[in-house]
C-alpha cells in the first residue's frame, strides 16, 4: 500500500495580474518543465516578483514535486503582482518540446490563456495554452526530519535504476555508517548493491541514524531520468517515511517527494 502524501483539495485559480517573462534559451525552459511533466499532468505556477514556483502532486497522489526558479534566471522578468497560472503541464511540455536551437522564449498572460512565443532569428512561433483550474493542489511540502543524506552522481544512479527495473517494480535503500545499499527483489532474480562513501558513485554521505525504506521503482526512475547529465542527486531518507530527491537544472531547484511502499500487515 502506498501512503498518500496529502488529501486532495480543490483550489480556485486566481489570475488577475499581468506578467511578461523572457528566457534566452528556450531549450533550458523546456528541460525544466520536462522535469515537472515526468510526474505531474497539471499544476499551478506561482509567479511572484522573486521568481516562479510550482508545487504539484502526481495523479496517483504518491509523489509530489516542488519546483522553484529565481527571477535572475530570466532575461526579462516583469511581474506587476503575484499571479497563479494553472495549466496542463502535459500540453505545456508538448509545446516546449518544439523548442529549437538558439531560440528565445517569451511567456505572458493573454486573457485566460498563456501566450508562449518562440523567437528565432527569422521566425516567430506563437502558442496559446489555456489556463485551467487545477484540481489537485499540493501547497506545502511534507515536514520530515531525515536521518540520512546521500549524494549520488546522476549517471551511474540512472544505470542502477535501469538495471533494477528489469527485475522488480520496487527498490530498497538502506544506509549505514559509510555504507549505502540498494536492493531489488523480483520473481526472476534479486539484485543487491553495496557502495562505500566517497567513491565515483556516492559523492557524500551523512548518516545520523541508519535508515531503510522501499519505493516504487517506476516513479523513482522517472524522477531521476530528467536530472541533467553530470549532475548530482541528493537523497534524504528516513525509515519508512517519504524519500526526498533533490537536484538542480541550472538555476532551477527541483525537490521530489515519493511515499514509501509499506508491506501490508
Q: Left if phi > 0, otherwise alpha if psi is -120 to 50, otherwise beta: which for 258? A: beta
Supply the minimum distance, in Å, between the C-beta of residue 194 and a copy of itself. 6
Cβ atoms of 36 and 222 within 8 Å: the answer is no
Supply the minimum distance, in Å, between the C-beta of residue 128 and a copy of itself. 4
CA atoms of 45 and 73, how far apart (whole Å): 16
Angle separating helix axes 26-37 and 89-96, nearest 10 degrees: 150
Q: Which residues contact 136 (CB under 8 A, 6 or more apart)?
A: 8, 9, 42, 56, 57, 59, 61
Supply the minimum distance, in Å, between the C-beta of residue 96 and a copy of itself. 11
Q: Which residues contact 259 (CB under 8 A, 6 or more apart)?
A: 2, 3, 4, 5, 62, 63, 215, 242
C-beta of 129 vs 237, nearer to a copy of itself: 129
Supply the minimum distance, in Å, between the C-beta of residue 201 and a copy of itself. 6
C-beta of 5 vs 171, nearer to a copy of itself: 171
Q: Which residues of 82-98 are buried (b: 16+ CB within 10 A; e: fewer)?
A: ebbbbbbbebbbebbee
Tell me if residue 63 falls in helix, strand or coil: strand
Supply the minimum distance, in Å, between the C-beta of residue 240 and a copy of itself. 24
C-beta of 60 vs 97, nearer to a copy of itself: 97
C-beta of 144 vs 170, nearer to a copy of itself: 170
Which residues sit at the interface with a copy of itself, rule CB under 8 A?
88, 90-91, 94-95, 97-98, 100, 121-130, 156, 159, 162-163, 166-167, 188-196, 199-201
* Cell, residue 105: 522564449
Q: Which residues contact 166 (CB under 8 A, 6 or more apart)?
A: none
CA atoms of 13 and 134, how far apart (whole Å): 7
C-beta of 62 vs 220, nearer to a copy of itself: 220
C-beta of 62 vs 164, nearer to a copy of itself: 164
C-beta of 66 vs 88, nearer to a copy of itself: 88
CA atoms of 116 and 190, how far apart (whole Å): 48
Supply the minimum distance, in Å, between the C-beta of residue 48 and a copy of itself. 25
Supply the minimum distance, in Å, between the C-beta of residue 257 and a copy of itself. 27
Amino acid at each position: 500500500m502506498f501512503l498518500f502524501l496529502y488529501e486532495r483539495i480543490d483550489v480556485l485559480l486566481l489570475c488577475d495580474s499581468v506578467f511578461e517573462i523572457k528566457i534566452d534559451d528556450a531549450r533550458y525552459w523546456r528541460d525544466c518543465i520536462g522535469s515537472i511533466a515526468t510526474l505531474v499532468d497539471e499544476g499551478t505556477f506561482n509567479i511572484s516578483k522573486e521568481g516562479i514556483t510550482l508545487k504539484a502532486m502526481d495523479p496517483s497522489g504518491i509523489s509530489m514535486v516542488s519546483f522553484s526558479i529565481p527571477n535572475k534566471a530570466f532575461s526579462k522578468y516583469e511581474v506587476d503582482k503575484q499571479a497563479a497560472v494553472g495549466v496542463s503541464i502535459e500540453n505545456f511540455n508538448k509545446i516546449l518540446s518544439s523548442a529549437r536551437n538558439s531560440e528565445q522564449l517569451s511567456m505572458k498572460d493573454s486573457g485566460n490563456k498563456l501566450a508562449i512565443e518562440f523567437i528565432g532569428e527569422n521566425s516567430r512561433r506563437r502558442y496559446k495554452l489555456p489556463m485551467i483550474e487545477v484540481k489537485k493542489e499540493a501547497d506545502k511540502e511534507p515536514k520530515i526530519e531525515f536521518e540520512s543524506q546521500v549524494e549520488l552522481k546522476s549517471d551511474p544512479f540512472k544505470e542502477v535504476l535501469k538495471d533494477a527495473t528489469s527485475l522488480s517494480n520496487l527498490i530498497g535503500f538502506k544506509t549505514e555508517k559509510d555504507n549505502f545499499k540498494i536492493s531489488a527483489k523480483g520473481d526472476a532474480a534479486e539484485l543487491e548493491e553495496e557502495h562505500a562513501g566517497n567513491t565515483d558513485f556516492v559523492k557524500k554521505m551523512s548518516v545520523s541514524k541508519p535508515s531503510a525504506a522501499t519505493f516504487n521503482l517506476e516513479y523513482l526512475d522517472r524522477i531521476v531520468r530528467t536530472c541533467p547529465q553530470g549532475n548530482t542527486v541528493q537523497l534524504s531518507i528516513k525509515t519508512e517515511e517519504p524519500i526526498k530527491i533533490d537536484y538542480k537544472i541550472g538555476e532551477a531547484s527541483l525537490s521530489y517527494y515519493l511515499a514509501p511502499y509499506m508491506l501490508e500487515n
